[in-house]
Structure 1
């Protein structure tokens, strides 16, 4: 699936920088990665609904996630 995402970004002409790292669970862990990339930290979540549709949710690092509001 990872390669499919890269292929789609390439096909759509969307520039990206890739940095492989182990999974992170806190924003503090993500700060080091954001600093290496020279960007503001963000939260990236892959979600799936009951219909097996996949979504990529991107939030600013300082935003709190409300699962209820996403479900609506």
Structure 2
């Protein structure tokens, strides 16, 4: 059974991570999110669940304004062609659905089958804003704490500088 936001908050608390939770109506796209969460401080992020032609799975978290060229990203990573993973694969690998994808979803990846990737611009932000496993809230935290969470639950994320 997938972890709940309360499970996530308990894990963040156990790690001593300071965060702020902002409940809001459900959002499914960056455009919807921008309209609803404009008042929330921090670098707002989006997430791309990707897979290469060999089946390797990636979770890329970037700032909302960051342009991602999948061909260049594949060349940079040394993978084959990248495409978006299906909703079924997303649920199987990360226990979440489109619109609710978050770097916190690595909490569900006990098999470590998904490689977490972060936009280097995130690390220079004062705060980052991401979903807490659901699309009805946004959580803000220091980027170093997000990295610490990913390392504690999964493995160190690979940091990528855009544009490629």
Q: What is the TM-score normalised by the length of structure 2? A: 0.30
Structure with the largest fraction of strand: 2
Which of these two proteins has the greater Rg computed from alpha carbons? Answer: 2
Contact 2:48-2:84 at 8 Å conserved across structures: no
Number of residues paired by the alignment?
60
**What are the residue-to-residue correspondences of 1:1-72 with 2, within 5 Å?**
1-32=4-35, 33=37, 35-44=38-47, 58-63=61-66, 64=68, 66-67=83-84
User: Counterparts of 1:31 and 1:11 in 2: how far apart (Å)?
Assistant: 30
Structure 1 unaligned blocks of 5 or more = 47-55
User: Counterparts of 1:45 and 1:36 in 2: how far apart (Å)?
Assistant: 24
User: Counterparts of 1:42 and 1:4 in 2: how far apart (Å)?
Assistant: 21
Q: What is the TM-score normalised by the length of structure 1? A: 0.58
Match of 1:52 in 2: none
Structure 1 segments, 4+ long, off by >2 Å, are: 56-59, 62-68
User: RCO (CA 8 Å, sep 6+): is it higher in 1 or 2?
Assistant: 2
Structure 2 unaligned blocks of 5 or more = 50-58, 71-82, 86-113, 116-164
- Aligned-residue CA RMSD (Å): 3.1
* Secondary structure of the corresponding residue to residue 41 of structure 1: strand
